[in-house]
Amino acid sequence: MFHHTPLRYAALVLLASGALFQAFTAQYFGLEILTEILILAMLVLALDMVAGFGGMVSLCHGALMGVGAYGYAVLSTTAGLTPPVAMAAAVGITAGISWVIGAICSRSHGIYFIMATLAFGQMAYSYVFEAPIFGGDDGLGGIERLDLSAVGIDLNDTRTFALFCLVALAAMYGLAVMVLRSGLGRSFSGVMHNEQRMRALGLTVWRVKADVFGLSGMIAGFAGVLAAQHIMYISPGLMAWTVSGEALVVVILGGLGTLVGPLVGAAVFVVLKHELSSLTTYWHLIVGLILIGVVMSRANGIFGFIEDFVAARSKSAAATPKATEVTKDA
């Protein structure tokens, strides 16, 4: 079951403080990078829910993010729904599709689950690429942002939109924690550790997996809605399997099964991407080498390494007084 530690609370405070500082002091380019980090953080948060706490390594979360983005774009532009209604409908549709995918794939494990989710993602990508209603290869433009002018908030302002994304990420993080600490979340964790025992206890395993996968997909869909509003344009590239692959890289880089780690990973990944891409077109190679180093070090990502280091120092500090007492007694 997920639990917060003092270190995780400290990391959350540092991340929130850094985001707020950037939101209030950065200029346009810095605000765009911050918004990109926040939306990616929401996607990897959703992926960590199922991969880190249920062993369901999904390669369709990028496509689910795309479903939310396209759902909002079509409903708000073609169907003529108001942005709030279109947002709610798009997130609901994504949650429903995610639940169905989770239910279908729930009986597969390991590489078979990964390939099944990849197949669903590629099917969604191919359909969107060919369907005229989704703009085909040209994508869809003219997407409006949520109108909060009634309460004095202008989301067309870059700084305000970045702050809105930060609040949205905080809300999604709270939702993820609430789910993982609930009875559903504890059952989900139990299924990962011993599925046969949980089934013997009378638990409907496929339903538990489908429910959590649906909630995870809902968060990914919400990230997609914000991504569509951020750029005000979407294309099939948003649903490519590489988006899911990058999300998985970020989760592993930050720390699988920690919730906090993927947020750290999102910030590191986006900053590295922008800084390294200005120096070389082969920035993926450098990020790949960093990822290999993290995996080979046997640490659970960047944040996992920090947690292990702090735990080792605490254990060493606690053992020192005892050793001193034994020496004095002797």
Q: What is the pLDDT of residues 23-51, one digit of tens each?
A: 999 999 999 999 999 999 999 999 999 99
Calculate mean pLDDT across residues 236-260.
Answer: 90
Which runs of consecutive H residues, i.e. helices, occur in the chain? 6-25, 28-54, 61-73, 83-105, 110-130, 158-181, 183-193, 195-200, 205-231, 241-254, 260-277, 283-296, 301-329
Of residues 315 and 177, the one with the higher pLDDT is 177
pLDDT for position 135: 85
Average pLDDT, integer, range 54-68 = 94
The model's pTM: 0.91
Q: Give me 63's structure tokens.
A: 């496509």
- Which of residues 295 and 225 earns the better pLDDT score? 225
The tokens of 287 are what?
Answer: 């990020």
Lowest mean pLDDT among 32-46, 205-219, 267-281: 267-281
